[in-house]
Amino acid sequence: MPADRAPTRIQKKNRAAILEAALDVFSSHGFRGSTVDRIAKAAGLSKPNLLYYFSSKEAIFNELMAGLLDTWLDPLRALDPEGDPLEEILAYVQRKLQMSRDYPRESRLYANEIVQGAPRLHDVIATDLTVLVEEKAQLLQDWMDTGRINRAHPKHLLFSIWSLTQHYADFDAQVRTLMGAEDPFDAAPDYLETLYRRMLTPES
């Protein structure tokens, strides 16, 4: 493995190629279903060469996950207590939907992990994510208490946003087959906006 210096041109290129290839392979076969050899070939390297850049299969996976989680939670972090409640939530929904469209592999990688019981993610979920969710759930609760949006269980509201938006990435194979020629992402933004607008616009 390279020493502790600044990465060379080749290191930068190859590490990037490996992570890109690994995202492809891991997201479509899961951790155990992916082989180092396959990732290496997808990155245009030999297996020993790949292992020269990453000490193990798990090391690649971890680096991928670490990078993923941060970007994954950014849209929620950006939910602004100062903004207009309904518009903030609708914008959050659209940001999440956009991520499903632009980064479906990342979404599936995450889904793969959680579906299998989150063995490698449990700690992050139990700490970082929990804190963030508690904070934002409280914000939603405040908005409801002051009558600025309709009442609904705040955490379930968050779950529903994740579920609905990520569905388009995670179940892409099913969604596209059932939609035929129509691109799911054509109608999805409008559908979700309508759903949450009807759901959350204060009554009376």
Partner DNA sequence: CAATGATTTGACCAACTGGTCAAACTCACG
Partner DNA sequence: CGTGAGTTTGACCAGTTGGTCAAATCATTG
Interface residues with a second copy (CB under 8 A) are 28-33, 108, 111-112, 114-118, 122, 125-126, 129-130, 133, 150, 152-153, 155-157, 159-160, 162-164, 167-168, 170-171, 173-175, 177-179, 184, 187-188, 190-191, 194-195, 198-199
DSSP secondary structure letters along 40-97 = HHHTT--HHHHHHHSSSHHHHHHHHHHHHHHHHHHHHHT--TTS-HHHHHHHHHHHHH
Give me the least distance between CB of 31 and DNA, in Å please: 9
Integer Cα distance of 160 and 178 in angstroms: 22
Kindly state the smallest distance separating residue 52's Cβ from DNA, in Å. 4
Binding-residue pattern over the window 24 to 63 for DNA, x denoting contact by CB under 7 A: ----------xxxx-------xxxxx-xx--xxxx-----
- Give the nearer residue to DNA in terms of CB position, either 28 or 141: 28
Place of tokens 């996950």: 65
- The listed partner (a second copy, DNA, none) that binds 204, CB under 5 to 8 Å by sort, is none
Q: What is the dihedral of CA 139, 108, 174, 178, to 10 degrees?
A: 60
Give the one entry of DNA, a second copy, none that residue 71 binds, where binding means its C-beta sits below a cut-off of 5 to 8 angstroms depending on kind: none
In terms of CB distance, is 16 or 178 closer to a second copy?
A: 178
Q: Exposed, middle or buried: residue 36 (CB in 10 Å: 0-12, 13-18, 19+)?
A: middle
